[in-house]
């Protein structure tokens, strides 16, 4: 009696043609599993050698093989620019590794930051009083920025401009020019140093201090309920 092979079981045991493990050597597999385990943080080549106790030529050969098979990729680190980090292709580098949205390939994107600062200044000057969300929406509608720009990025730029005394950070009183902004909402106004492009602001020097835009300035007296002594905005301006 001639026995026939169970072809279905043979097929189950046969490696898949596209399996990543089909053509990996032992050292390739060891490094690939290590790199993949680090997920979005990646791993430095020096740490690979230390963790797996593999010689330098073996590590370099396996890394070249894994990159050739498009299983791993090299990524830049803003904290360790002289070191090569590797990561499995299915992961995107973490902010801790890349520095976040302000960095491109490990380098600070100064041109993008400069452009956003100029745009924020222009939109604050144009809108007179504006919130972070309002400025962000206005910049997106302008179409000047062709890449994704988040509200968080705009908030960070506005904070820098406040520290540089280019704009003022205030809270809405829901009165006067703040009427359309909910009470207490953080908003921004030109500091009076001048509009973008060198155009002098018409609001004058008083706009650079909170008193210049305070809707209750007529009720403010040295020893009254409303007074420069108790005004948080005036104190903050003096501390600049």
Q: What six digits make up the tokens of 157?
A: 């730029």
Name the stretches of the chain with pLDDT < 50: 1-18, 194-195, 197-208, 213, 240
Q: Output the pLDDT for position 229.
A: 67
Q: Output the pLDDT for position 207.
A: 43
Distance in angstroms (rounded) separating the CA atoms of residues 12 and 214? 79
pTM of the model: 0.47
Distance in angstroms (rounded) separating the CA atoms of residues 178 and 54? 66
Q: Output the pLDDT for position 236.
A: 53
Percent of the chain with pLDDT over 70: 63
Task: Assign a CATH topology to domain 22-108.
Answer: Arc Repressor Mutant, subunit A (1.10.10)
Q: Output the pLDDT for position 140.
A: 84
Q: Output the pLDDT for position 210.
A: 54
Tell me the CATH number for domain 110-204.
1.10.10.10
The per-residue pLDDT for range 26-55, each reduced to its tens digit, is 888 999 999 999 888 888 888 888 888 888
Q: Output the pLDDT for position 230.
A: 72
Q: Output the pLDDT for position 24.
A: 84
Residue-range domain boundaries for the chain: 22-108, 110-204
Report the side by side order of strands in the sheet with 72-75.
Answer: 43-44, 85-88, 72-75
Q: Output the pLDDT for position 132.
A: 92
Q: Output the pLDDT for position 222.
A: 67
Contact by Cβ (8 Å): 47, 94: no
* Dihedral, CA of residue 223, residue 228, residue 232 and residue 234, to nearest 10: 180
Q: Output the pLDDT for position 214.
A: 58
Distance in angstroms (rounded) separating the CA atoms of residues 230 and 65? 69
- Which is it for strands 129-130 and 107-108: parallel, antiparallel or unpaired? unpaired
Q: Output the pLDDT for position 216.
A: 58
Query: Do the domains 110-204 and 22-108 match in fold?
Result: yes
């Amino acid at each position: 009696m001639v026995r026939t092979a169970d072809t279905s079981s043979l097929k189950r045991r046969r490696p898949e043609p596209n399996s990543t493990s089909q053509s990996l050597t032992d050292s390739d597999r060891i490094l690939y599993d290590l790199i993949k385990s680090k997920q979005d943080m990646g791993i430095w080549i020096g740490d690979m050698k230390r963790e797996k106790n593999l010689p330098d030529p073996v590590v370099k050969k396996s890394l070249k093989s894994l990159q050739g098979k498009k299983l791993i990729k090299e990524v830049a680190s803003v904290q360790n620019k002289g070191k090569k980090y590797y990561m499995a292709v299915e992961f995107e580098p973490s902010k801790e590794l890349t520095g976040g949205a302000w960095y491109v390939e490990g380098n600070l994107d100064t041109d993008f930051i400069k452009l956003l600062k100029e745009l924020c200044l222009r939109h604050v000057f144009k809108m007179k009083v504006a919130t972070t969300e309002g400025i962000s929406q206005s910049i997106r509608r302008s179409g000047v920025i062709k890449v994704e720009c988040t509200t968080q990025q705009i908030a960070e730029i506005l904070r820098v401009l406040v520290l540089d005394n280019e704009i003022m950070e205030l809270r809405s009183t829901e009165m006067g020019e703040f009427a359309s902004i909910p009470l207490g909402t953080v908003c921004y106004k030109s500091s009076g140093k001048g509009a973008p492009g060198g155009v002098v602001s018409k609001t004058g020097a008083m706009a650079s201090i909170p008193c210049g835009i305070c809707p209750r300035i007529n009720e403010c007296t040295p020893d009254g309920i409303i007074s420069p002594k108790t005004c948080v905005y005036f104190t903050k301006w003096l501390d600049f």
